[in-house]
Amino acid sequence: MNSTRKPLIAGNWKMYKGGLAGVELASALKKVARDVPNVDMVIAPPFTVLAACAHEVEGSSIAIAAQNFYPKNEGAFTGEVSAPMLRDSGCTWVLVGHSERRQYFGETDASVAERTRVAIAAGLEPIVCVGETLAERETGQTIAVVNRQVSAFVNLLTHHAVIAYEPVWAIGTGKTAGPNEAEEVHMAIRAQLERRGLGMTTRILYGGSVKADNAAALLACPNVDGALVGGASLEASTFGAIARAAQGLVSSR
List interacting residues with ligand PGA (CB under 6 A): 12, 166, 171-172, 207-210, 228-232
Contact 250, 39 (CB under 8 A): yes
Nearer to ligand PGA (CB atom), residue 153 or residue 239: 239
Supply the minimum distance, in Å, between the C-beta of residue 181 and ligand PGA: 15
Supply the minimum distance, in Å, between the C-beta of residue 208 and ligand PGA: 5
Q: How far apart are CA 70 and CA 210, in angstroms?
A: 28
Q: CA torsion angle for 169, 174, 178, 181 (degrees, to 10)?
A: 10
Q: How far apart are CA 150 and CA 20, in angstroms?
A: 37
- Is 98 one of the annotated active-site residues of the chain? yes
Q: Which of 98, 100, 132, 186 is catalytic?
A: 98
Q: Which of 56, 125, 166, 183 is catalytic?
A: 166
Beta-sheet strands, E only, within the chain: 8-12, 40-44, 62-66, 93-96, 125-130, 162-165, 203-207, 226-229
- Is 166 one of the annotated active-site residues of the chain? yes
The radius of gyration of the chain from alpha carbons, rounded to an integer in Å, stands at 17
Nearer to ligand PGA (CB atom), residue 32 or residue 164: 164
Supply the minimum distance, in Å, between the C-beta of residue 89 and ligand PGA: 21
Supply the minimum distance, in Å, between the C-beta of residue 74 and ligand PGA: 29
The SS3 of residue 187 is helix
Nearer to ligand PGA (CB atom), residue 53 or residue 229: 229
Nearer to ligand PGA (CB atom), residue 71 or residue 230: 230
Establish how many alpha carbons lie within 13 A of residue 126's alpha carbon, considering only the half-sphere containing its beta carbon. Answer: 27
Active site residues: 98, 166
